[in-house]
Structure formats: structure tokens, C-alpha cells
Structure 1
Amino acid sequence: MKFFRRLVSPLIVFIGIQLAWVLVVVFWISWFVRNNRKFRDLAEKYGPGLPQSGLDWVVLVEGLVLLIAILAGVYVIFLYWRRQTSLAREQRNFISQVSHEFKTPLASLQLHLETIRLRRPDQQQLDFFLETMLEDTVRLRSLVDNLLDASRLEQKRIRLDLKPDNLSQLVSEFLKQKTATLPENARLTLDLTPNIYSWIDRAAMQMVLRNLLENALIYSNGPPVIHVSLKAEGARCHLCFADQGRGISAKDRKKVFRMFYRVRKSDETIRGSGLGLFIVKAVIWRHKGKVWLESKGLGHGTSFHILLPRIEPAEGESHA
């Protein structure tokens, strides 16, 4: 079974298609050359009044055009099949990862609840248990939210309620609320130009901020160091999340916004669903914005950039 899977890998299939097409072309040309004399004799016998000079080459060219059209169709089918194969593989990995993501906090919750039921811990230990259980519920809620949001975005069932709003205030308030939930050794710095307005859906934009923050925390090397900036650039708002984490290789930069895609080594386990950046891109696109990332490579951190249409504060205040 494993040998068969290797045999039908996309690369082997692509090479096989190319070889088959070359063989068919060679066969067609050789067959045509061998039978060219017969074509001429038939043309002279049954159509002596017809010009013969270019008739044979017309037949050859028509055959080649037909073969090229067939090759193009097969190539399109191959690309679609390869994409579906890749998506199916990512879905299998996603199901395995999400199952683990659910089981870990649930097992922790069950363990702490059973411990509390079997023996009453002292107040200090009880407080520790409660804090851990709250963290587990937050983790579960974040995972469930991402699953539901990604499903609705993919099926285009989310309708954003875009209103003029103070983006600077929204980003500041959200991140300051999250400061208390960051790891003790994490460092989050803000450089936000005040009173930058844009047409935004507050709930959807908070979804974007949450996923960018979680992504920076998950892929940090050592203590997380995150810098968030917001600037006005002409008719655009420029929001940037920069971290000093593991960075992203060139081959992964165009893939990280795909649904289910995760940047990780084959032998490592990283928490998360692989949906966060897909949600970020989908939401920003619906805000008529643009999102991209910059990274100098592995070990050099990553910066996520978002551009949104900017409006004047007076316009936002008049519609608020």
C-alpha cells in the first residue's frame, strides 16, 4: 500500500503524463511521415483538382494542436488533483491536531476536578487549580471560536457590520485587556498613533487581533517579545505585529494563510488549529484591506502587516 502511494505521488504522475504525451507526439509524427505518401496518392486519385502543397502539413498541425489541447486538459486535471491531495493531507493533519488540542485541556480539567472531589485542597492549592482550569477553558473557547469562525468565513456566512470607528482605541483596549493573560516573562510594547479611524467591524477586528497575538505567542523562541504599531500612511492605516520568534522560511511564506496550514517540523507538536492566519486574511479581505508577512528567515522573527482604508476622525465621529 505504501509503495502504491509513492507510485502515485504528484511528481511521479506528472513525469508519467509528460512521457506519455511525448510518446504520443512522436508516434503521431512518425505515423504521419510513414503514411504521407498514401495521403498524396489518395488526394491525387479522388481530388485531382485540389491543391496538394499544404494539405499534408495542415493535417499534421491539426493533429498536434489536438494533442496540445488534450495535454492542457490533462495538466489542469493534474493541478486540481494535486491541490485536492494536498488539502486532504492538511485536513487529516488538522483533525489529528485538533483532537489533541481538545483532549489536552479536557484531560487537565478532569484531573483537577477529580482531585478537588477526592480531597479538599487548601486555599492556595485550590486557587492554583482554579487558575489552571480557567486557562484551559480559555484555550478551549479560543479553539472553538476559530473552528466556527473559519467555517462561517469559508462558506461566506459572516456578514460584517462595517462602521466608522477609532482603530487606535480598539487595538489599545484589546491588547491592554490581554496583557493580564500573557505569560509572566512575555513583553508586549505598543506604538499606536492616536485617533486613526477606519471602517471596521469591531468583533471581526478583535478576532484578527486575537489570532495575531496567539500566533506570536505560539511561535516564540523563549520569552515572547511582541511589538505592535499603528501608523497613518496617506489613505491607509498600517497595523504591524512584529515578534522575535522562530521566523518563517521563504517556501512557507505564501502558504501560511491557507486553511489548515501550519509551519512546523515533522517531529514537533505545536498547539493551535492552523486556522488563525486563514481567519486573519479572510476578515481583512472583507474589510477591503491587505495582509502580508515579512521575515528574514528562520530564527529572525516575523512581522505581519495589515493595510486598511483610513478615514478622517471627523468623518468617523459624525457617523458614530
Structure 2
Amino acid sequence: MGKINRISLSLFWLILTVSLAIWWFTLGLRQTKTISELSLELGEPNQYTSSGLLEKQSRMLWMEGTFFISMLTLGGSVLIWFSYQDIKRNQLIQDFFSTVTHEMKTPLAGLRLQVEGLMEDLSGSKEYSNILKRALKESDRIESQMDKAFYLASLMRSETLFIEKVSINTIKYSLQDTFPDVKWTLPQEIFLKVDKRAMESIFSNLFENAYKHGLATKIQIVVQPIDLSKSEIGIFQDRTNLINKYINNKQAHEKRVKLSIKDNGRGFQGNLSQIGKPFIRSSSTSGSGIGLYIVKQLISKMNGKIFFSSDETGFEVRIDLPMH
């Protein structure tokens, strides 16, 4: 949609400027003609001199107006052409990311199966077991980066998500094998109006960020239903001041769910407003800088809100999503 808007804006600018130039050109010709007619009616003494001067001015106006309109048309056309070429180039890059990500996942899955098989066969050898564990960990890291690249490409293409009724327990069980130490607090069976795969990616990115960059050892998730008929205010404590976040309650009749993801890591030492911007890294540890950007974009696509807070006790992410 953004690509179409870019060309539409360029086309609108071209039409507007050319229309204004034509209007100015027509107005100038009319004024010249009016002055000439008034001179004839008033019977000025130097009639022929005045008529020749007006004809010269009219001819000059024609030349300048034609040149001006031609330059505007040429400039607008070049702008549209460059916009179109830029869109084509971006599309090629996005298709490349999507294709490479998809093609690499199959051999990566095969490699993972082979490593797991070798771990079973060589379970008695501690030396080889440690090497294979490191290889398995690296394959998991590569797969995580591939998933991020895939989602980044899909977000750049403005692909729509498949919103459906999803149980929070289903998401919990799908992540338990990868993140078994995460503690979930669920008061009841809760269903969300979300994309299941997107939610799994959101939680995976948040957990990886907490463990890897925040050096957390514990993560706790608290899920609570909320009612937006009562305006709720989320207050977060920053290092220096209080930040009041008001939930957008344009659908005040709709019930929503609040998810609080809290860890015991070192927190965030930078500017909280920078979180969620692409390729912004908050620490010296390795990372692509797109994890939280993907999280923020996916939450927005699912009609949700996300807030961040940090203090000496750790880092907290709060997410508000519509309940089914």
C-alpha cells in the first residue's frame, strides 16, 4: 500500500503543478488580451506601437509558459519514473529475502535432525556431545535469524495476517519445548483474535531478547482479561520520570487481554523511545536489531498496543490485544 501511495503522491504533485501552471498561463494570456482590447477601445495615440508591444509580450508569455509547463511535466515524469524504479528494486530485494529464507529453512531442518541423531548415537562421549550441542545451538540461532528475515520481508511487502480465534494455551504449549523455563500465569482459558504464527514469533523474539541481551534467568508472563469500557491507564516507571500511557479505547465495548512479560535481567539502559526502531541495537551483544521492530509491527497489525518499561528489577513488556 505504501508503494502505491508513493506513486499516487508523485502523480498528484505532477497534476497539481501542471494545472497551476496552465491556470497561470491562461490567466496571463487573458490579461494581455484584455489590455489590448482596452487600448483599442480607448483610442490611444500610439495604437500601432502599443499593439506591437502587447503582441510581443503575448509571444513572450507563450514561450515562457510553454517552457515552464514542459519543465514541470518533465520533472514530474522523472519523479514518477524514479519512484517506480525504486519500488521495483525494493520488490526484488524483498523477494530475494523471502526466497532465500524459505530455501534455507529446509536444509537447516535436515541439518538439525542429523545433529540430533548424532547426539543420540554419541551420547556416551562427553567431548562430542558438547560439540554437537554447540552446533545445535548455532542452528537454532540461524533459524531464528531466518524467521526474523522472513517476517521482515513480509512486513515490507505489507502482507496481511490471518486473524483467527487462538487459545493462549495453544501458544504456550507450542513454545514450551523451546522455552521451558518461562513461567505462565493464566487465570482462565482465554481466546485471542490474532495470527497464531505471528504470536509465536512475538513471544520468541521477546524471550530471546530477555535471555540473550538482557541476561535474564527468569521470565514470567501474566495474562489478564481487561474491559475497555473502563479507561485503563498503564503507568510505567522509567529511571528518571513517570510515563503515562493511555490505551486507545476507540472500541470501548470490546474486551481485550493484557499480557505482561517481565524478566529479572539487567533492563534497558538506553532511551525507551528508541525501542522498536529497525536496526537499533541496545547492547554490544550480537544481534540484527530487527527483533523488537518485528514485534511492534506485528502487534500493530493485530490491532494491539505494546509498551516497554525498565528499572533495576528488569525489563517489562506489556501487550494489549483484542479478545475473541
Note if contact 1:261-1:275 (Cα within 8 Å) is conserved in structure 2. yes
C-alpha separation between the residues in 2 aligned to 1:177 and 1:260? 29
Q: Does 1:211 align with 2:205?
A: yes
Per-residue CA deviation, residues 50-101 of structure 1 (Å, 9 max, x unaligned), is xxxxxxxxxxxxxxxxxxxxxxxxxxxxxxxxxxxxxxxxxxxxxxxxxxxx
Structure 2 counterparts to residues 32-181 of structure 1, below 5 A: 123-156=125-158, 158-166=159-167, 168-180=168-180
The residue type equivalent to 2:173 in the other structure is: E
Q: Does 1:259 align with 2:308?
A: no
Partner of 1:48: none
Give the SS at the match of 1:178: coil
C-alpha separation between the residues in 1 aligned to 2:126 and 2:268? 42
C-alpha separation between the residues in 1 aligned to 2:174 and 2:273? 28
Partner of 1:285: 300
Partner of 2:226: 233
C-alpha separation between the residues in 1 aligned to 2:124 and 2:268? 46
C-alpha separation between the residues in 2 aligned to 1:309 and 1:255? 26
Partner of 2:317: 304
C-alpha separation between the residues in 1 aligned to 2:259 and 2:287? 23
Give the SS at the match of 1:239: strand
Give the SS at the match of 2:222: strand
Give the SS at the match of 2:273: coil
Q: Greater CA radius of gyration, 1 or 2? A: 2
Aligned counterpart for 1:220 among listed residues 187, 192, 214: 214
Per-residue CA deviation, residues 226-283 of structure 1 (Å, 9 max, x unaligned), is 111111112111111101112124x51111100011112xxxx302211110010111
Note if contact 1:164-1:200 (Cα within 8 Å) is conserved in structure 2. yes
C-alpha separation between the residues in 1 aligned to 2:171 and 2:315? 19
C-alpha separation between the residues in 1 aligned to 2:177 and 2:204? 11
Per-residue CA deviation, residues 199-237 of structure 1 (Å, 9 max, x unaligned), is 11111111101001101102334x512111111112111
Deviation at 1:308, TM superposition (A): 0.5
Partner of 2:35: none
C-alpha separation between the residues in 2 aligned to 1:208 and 1:220? 16
C-alpha separation between the residues in 2 aligned to 1:215 and 1:287? 21
Give the SS at the match of 1:141: helix
Deviation at 1:300, TM superposition (A): 3.2
C-alpha separation between the residues in 2 aligned to 1:207 and 1:227? 17
Partner of 1:91: none
C-alpha separation between the residues in 2 aligned to 1:209 and 1:169? 13
Which runs of no fewer than 5 residues in structure 2 stay unpaired? Answer: 1-110, 228-254
C-alpha separation between the residues in 2 aligned to 1:128 and 1:245? 26
Figure out how many residues of one structure are paired with residues of the other and give that number: 180
The residue type equivalent to 1:172 in the other structure is: K
Partner of 2:194: 200
C-alpha separation between the residues in 1 aligned to 2:185 and 2:214? 20
C-alpha separation between the residues in 1 aligned to 2:179 and 2:152? 25
C-alpha separation between the residues in 2 aligned to 1:171 and 1:219? 23
Note if contact 1:172-1:192 (Cα within 8 Å) is conserved in structure 2. no
Give the SS at the match of 1:179: coil
Give the SS at the match of 1:254: helix
Deviation at 1:121, TM superposition (A): 11
1:255 to 1:123, Cα distance in 2 relative to 1, 3 A: same
Give the SS at the match of 1:307: strand
Note if contact 2:171-2:196 (Cα within 8 Å) is conserved in structure 1. no
Note if contact 2:223-2:257 (Cα within 8 Å) is conserved in structure 1. yes
Partner of 1:104: none
Aligned counterpart for 1:276 among listed residues 291, 296, 316: 291
C-alpha separation between the residues in 2 aligned to 1:175 and 1:193? 19
Note if contact 1:293-1:303 (Cα within 8 Å) is conserved in structure 2. yes
